[in-house]
Amino acid sequence: MSDPDFKSLYLSIQRCNAAYIMDETEAKNAFENLGSTFLARLSTDQNQSVLHRPANGPVTLTNCGSRISEGSLKQHLSDLSTDAAAWSFDIGNGRLVAKAPFQRAAATYSWLFDQAPGAILNIEGHSLGGWESTYATEYINNVLINHICVWESPLQGNDAYWADLKERRLLDLFTQIYHGRDPWALWPWENEDLNKGPGPILWARDGTWSFVSKTDLPIAEFTDAYELFHSGDHGPTSVIDTFKLLANSFTLASA
């Protein structure tokens, strides 16, 4: 397996961070400063996504994570539920997904189809935006998907869900990233159905990286103290710092 393109990943996580910006003019400026042409934005009390065209590559949809701190509490109350029914939503043939983000993704991809019908697409998102990015395969004609980059998404599907993606030859479209010892990227912690899929998962930590499987991630270690101590590993600015170092180190190594 080839090494990741850390320069591209560094740009991706910066775009994911920019997608959180509430003011559309500020968001447009942020994306353009990252080399993208700003095309459109979806912003409701439950969805926020930016459609743009990077300088290199196809049209890209960047899905926003939680905006609770900006007052959009309604967006993700159901995502934080401990009710088992929220994590056992059957979409057919025994495939289980997280109910709220899966249903919310329908509005995102309906809007996307209206904005860019027939376009070849990259899709990316951080945290809860990564959840919605994962589910693009259920809403978009799969021949139109070039790549899906999932940053620190909570657990997305059960074994049957991931087996179906493998059978449909869609797993190769994914890059999944786990950062540090982030507890929220392995939420819901006590759920026995959902997981992050067979991998490989790019695990970046302590200035290093490796490809791992879901069984290598530290979900069994979670305690309240663990959660409080490591929750900073989930924030996009923390991830940006890590991938800036990795991008710079690979640039120096190839010089």
**What are the chain's domains?**
6-254 (3.40.50.1820)
The Cα angle at residue 223 between residues 175 and 243, in degrees rounded to 5: 30
Closest CA to 102 of 149, 134, 68: 134
State mean pLDDT over 177-203.
89
Closest CA to 145 of 154, 135, 153, 156: 135
CB-based contact 3:250 (threshold 8 Å):
yes
Buried b (16+ CB within 10 A) or exposed e, 149-185: bbbbbbbbbbeebbbbbeeeebbebbbbbbbbbbbbb
Q: How many CB atoms lie within 10 A of CB 77?
A: 10
Is pLDDT of 201 > 70? yes
Q: What's residue 250's pLDDT?
A: 72
Q: What's residue 219's pLDDT?
A: 61
Average pLDDT of the chain to the nearest whole number = 87
pTM of the model: 0.91
Distance of alpha carbon 57 from alpha carbon 242, whole angstroms? 23
CA-to-CA separations, 48 to 43, 84, 125, 177, in angstroms, rounded: 4, 26, 11, 21
DSSP track, 164-180: HHHHTT-GGGEEEEEET
Distance of alpha carbon 97 from alpha carbon 88, whole angstroms? 6
Q: Grade residue 216 by pLDDT with cuts at 50, 70 and 90.
A: confident
